[in-house]
Amino acid sequence: MTPRDELQASTGAYVLNALSDAERTDVEREIAGSEQLRAEATELADTAVELGLSVAPVEPPASLRDSILAAVAATPQLPAPPLGPDESEHELARPAGPAELKARSRWRTPLARLGAVAAAIALIVSLGFTVRAGLQAQTDMTTASQINQIQAADDYQRLTVDATGGGSATLVWSVSLQQSALLVDGLKGLPAGSTYELWYIDSDGATPAGTFDVGDGGDHSVVLAGDMGLGDTVGVTVEPAGGSTRPTTDPIILVQTA
């Protein structure tokens, strides 16, 4: 259990979603018991929204719109919440300003929130809808599920590096699964006749681990072929189409896992 003054100092980490689940619950309990903390958390949450609005918008593919609208047509909505004792009290007494009212309703008890989730699940199940059905149609599902598997490993780790010439790359890996995946963003598109090639590099040299090309936004995710060794470095070079058996250019991405 976190000491009280530390909980009260955690509103920033709370609105930034930087707390563990256990701490989050503790902080929510603390916030529920203090109007001052509630007001602070509400303001800081609104400040976090400003950060969100400062991120460059990215247009999702049209296929996602279709998929979401189809899922929505098949998904029932939650009923409007009944007027709880908390709200009705406000209606009668009106002691709080808008920020406080906003805060009170926003930081509902975790139990109430769990109840809402349970109700949602029950509703969906009872009506026989499966929300996930729409998701299955996505392309790259295999890569995504393999990445999920890596992320589900107990020893999952990730590391982000800049690529030479622009863009960045995030390696996610699990030593126990001997697997890794690279998520690149903002890489240059390559002329026909060349490709990006992946390498596992250890003290014995570089082993080819597959090739990939990037989409319009320079992004791509790929699971590396072959087994990852403990402490391997993952590299990316530009190679002739089809790939090479050993690197012929300087790496544009190098990720050290040890």
Partner 1 sequence: MLRTVTRNYDDDVDGITPAVTSEDLLGRVALGDQAAFAQLYDRTASRVFGLVKRLLRDHAQSEEVTQEIFLEIWQNATRYEPAKGGAISWMLTMTHRRAVDRIRASQASRDRDTRIGIRDFAPEFDSVAENVEIQIESERVKEAMKRLTELQRQAVQLAYFGGYSHSEVSAMLKVPIGTVKTRLRDGMIRLRDELGVVS
Region near partner 1 per CB under 8 A, out of 63-71, 192-200, 232-240, 242-250: 63-71
Query: Which is nearer to partner 1, 6 or 248 (by Cβ)?
Result: 6
Give CA 61 to chain center in angstroms: 18
* CB 257, CB 173: distance < 8 Å: yes
Contact pattern from residue 30 through residue 49 relative to partner 1, giving x for each residue in contact according to CB under 8 A and a dash for the rest: ---------xx-xxxxxxxx
CA distance 14 to 7: 9
Q: Which stretch binds partner 1 (CB under 8 A): 73-81, 191-199, 201-209, 236-244?
A: 73-81
Site for partner 1 in 229-248 (CB under 8 A): none
Residue 133 touching partner 1 (CB under 8 A): no
58 forms part of the interface with partner 1 (CB under 8 A): yes
153 in contact with partner 1 (CB under 8 A): yes
* Residue 130 structure tokens: 């499966």
Instruction: Indicate which single residue of 1, 33, 57, 92 sits in contact with partner 1 (rule: CB under 8 A).
Output: 57
7 vs 19: CA distance, rounded Å: 11
- CA R_g for the chain: 24
Window 167-206: residues binding partner 1 (CB under 8 A): 168, 170, 183, 185
Q: Is 13 in the site for partner 1 (CB under 8 A)?
A: yes
Q: Among 5, 13, 48, 257, which residue's Cα sits nearest to residue 155? A: 257
In the region spanning residues 97 to 116, those forming contacts with partner 1, defined by CB under 8 A, are 97-102, 105-106, 116
Are residues 120 and 138 in contact, defined by beta-carbon separation less than 8 angstroms?
A: no
We find the least distance from the C-beta atom of residue 164 to partner 1, in angstroms, to be 12
Q: Which is nearer to partner 1, 221 or 244 (CB)?
A: 221
CA–CA gap between residue 233 and residue 37 (Å, rounded): 46
Whose structure tokens read 């008890």? 109
Q: Which is closer to partner 1, CB of 64 or CB of 241?
A: 64
The region of 71-79, 192-200, 204-212, 237-245 touching partner 1 under the rule CB under 8 A is 71-79
Size of the site for partner 1 (CB under 8 A): 94
Helix or strand or coil: residue 199? strand
- For residues 228 and 226, what is the distance between their CA atoms, to the nearest angstrom? 7
Cα–Cα nearest to 153, from 133, 172, 140, 166: 172
User: What is the smallest separation between the CB atom of 226 and partner 1, expressed in angstroms?
Assistant: 21
